[in-house]
Amino acid sequence: MLDLKYIVDILSNYMDLKDEDFIAYYLCRRSYNPFEVLVAIVLSQNTRDELAMKAFNNLRSVLGVLNPQVILSQSPEVIVDAVRVAGMYRRRTLIIKELAIVLSRLDSLDKLLTMPTEEVRKLLLGIDGIGYKTVDVFLLMCRGESVFPIDTHIRRVLSRLGIIKKNYSYLKIQEVVHKLLPPNYYLKAHLTLIAHGRTYCKAKKPLCSECPINSLCPKNI
């Protein structure tokens, strides 16, 4: 099997990683509150981060700083109109509203940063529309947890490299990566592999001839 750490190191020399290309990373590094970060991750599901960022900024320009109380005070249509650019806007609005209901029960949003990891998982995974990836991105980006989130780009890249099989579940892929990388590489690898999937290892018409790891890749396309 290929050395994933070595692959990440090679790719990181070619990727121009910018904070704003990764919405959750961008917001966590700028100390947005935990609810805002979770809303942003919901907006980024199955869409480009650039569209998610537009939707998030639209929502914030209409409502100001986001918290559960602000969201719950608004009609669904206000939220729908703000996040429309990200697509699936009615579904996203339902998830954001449900997220607000659940988190409004906390004494403080900052509890999401200090609660035991499994309590955070249980709380968030109990919300319809929030899955492992959303929770893991939050845990990695905002809490610095030793967890590796899997998205569609990462799944595709790892499959083409022969590191995982296409039918592997989310948790199985995560288990494989956790064994192959040291925890201090999880964030770097997460961002780098996503960037690689966006730039070279695209879903359609991958740029194999330009790929920095072309000579190493078995090209399981």
CATH code reported for the domain at 4-17+147-210: 1.10.1670.10
- pLDDT band for 219, please (50, 70, 90 cuts): confident
Q: Are 153 and 193 in contact (CB under 8 A)?
A: yes
What are the contacts of 109-114 at 24+ separation with CB within 8 A? 109/33, 109/34, 109/35, 109/67, 109/68, 110/34, 112/34, 112/35, 112/138, 112/142, 113/34, 113/142, 113/143
Structure confidence at residue 171 (pLDDT): 98
Domain 20-143: which CATH number of 3.40.1280.10, 1.10.340.30, 1.20.1260.10, 1.10.10.10: 1.10.340.30
Strand ranges in 126-194 using DSSP code E only, listed in sequence order: none
Domain borders along the chain are 4-17+147-210, 20-143
Reported confidence tier of residue 52, pLDDT bands at 50, 70, 90: very high
170 and 150 in contact (C-beta within 8 Å)?
Answer: yes
Predicted local confidence at residue 64, as pLDDT: 97
Query: Using one digit for the tens of pLDDT, what is the confidence trace for 4-20?
Result: 999 999 999 999 999 99
Q: Do residues 199 and 17 lie in contact, with contact meaning Cβ atoms separated by under 8 Å?
A: no
What is the chain's mean pLDDT, rounded?
Answer: 97
Over residues 115-140, mean pLDDT:
98
> Whole-model pTM?
0.96
